[in-house]
Each structure stands twice: as C-alpha cells, then as structure tokens.
Amino acid sequence: VQSFIRKPKVLAKFNDLFSGEGPGALFVHYQPRHLNELEALDQKETNEGKQAKKSELFISYGDSALMNSKCCYFLRQGAQEVDSSVANDSSLLYGELLDSPLETIKSLLSSTYAPLFAESSEWGSTNEEQKADFNDEMNKFIRNLTSAVESISGGLELRHLASSHIESLESSSGQNASQNPEAVAHLEELLEEWCSQIEGFIESREKNSHRQELSAKDPAPAEH
C-alpha cells in the first residue's frame, strides 16, 4: 500500500485533495479494473470457470470506476486546504465503503450516529420535543434503509443478459433483428423470466406487508 501511495500520479492526486485545488473526493479501490459495464459483466460470468482479471490497487474520483468490492474514501469539506498538523481535522472525512453503499450508510447510522445522538447532551438550544422528533425521523430512515437493503440482498435477483448476445446485437446494428434468431429467442425467454420473477416478488412483498399490518392492528395477547 505504501509503495502505491508513493507513486507520483497517486501522490499528486492526494496532494491536490489536501491543498483544496483538486476534486473533493478520492476513492481507493482494490478490485479488477473494468473499462465498462460489459467488461464487468464478462468478469462476473468468468469467475466460475475461466481465468478472471486480477485485483489491483487504483484510484478514482468516483465517476469512472464500477465499484464491485469495498473501497476507501477520502472526502474534503469545502475548497479550503486541509491542515495536516491538526489532529482529527474535521475538514477531511475518510472511511470504508462496502460493496453495497446502502449497507454502509445503514451501518453508520444504526451503529454509530443513532446511539451517539441518543446519548448526547450537546443539543444547544434544541428543546426536548425537537430532539425527540429528530431521533424519531432518523430511526424511521434507518428502518427504511434496512428494508431496502434486505430487498436488494435477499430479495429479487434477475439473471443477467449474456454478453455474447449483447455483442451479437451490437454487431448487427441497423439490420433486421430476424438475422439473429438465437439472440431474439434469448431476449424473449429472459424477458418472460424477469416478468414472472418480478410479479412473484411483488406478490410476496404485498402479502408480507399485509401480515405485518394485521399483526400491528391485532397484536397477540401477552402471556401471564
């Protein structure tokens, strides 16, 4: 890692970040470097059997790399220079992002900020009602994030379109689709599969939501 940071191009980007001259965010990745979404899809398809691209350390501004693994971030607040002589300078934020940004935000809020605000006594002129409203809204937001993360991680996962069929369709751009019967048949099959999965997922979510509403309205009697 130290040899990576000492590389002239990498060090120059960090110096720009600290001096306030460059972009306000830097991301350090350790993953295969992909040029586009199609290449990332190829990587996922070859992970099971074929030789895959090796992971490597590289840096980005967050607008050019497809993140498929956890990474480190450095975020400068404002355009002023970061004072490296000050311990815990609040003008520079840093941390780790998981491969799921929503999971990262949920974890930060639920395990760090929510307990911190709940125990804090430094609310200035804020009254108890405003304090309670703030904590209630934050807890509600955390519950919504938790539900979203569960839906993404343990809910619906659609089969990817094979990159070979994408290339086949792109190579015949402007021609009649009937000249690619295999690709058309694959697209039709995949679309039907997606529709069936989405309908089943929505029905399942609606049933679970209905059960939760009934449980809230008619809670089970307490045992004595």
In this structure, are residues 34 and 82 in contact, taking their beta carbons and an 8 Å threshold?
A: no
**Residue 79 pLDDT more than 70?**
yes
Residue-wise pLDDT tens digits, 156-178: 677 777 666 566 666 555 455 56
Residue 113: its H or E element: none
High-pLDDT (> 90) share of the chain, %: 8
Q: What is the pLDDT, as a whole number, of residue 49?
A: 46
Q: What is the pLDDT, as a whole number, of residue 130?
A: 92
pTM: 0.51
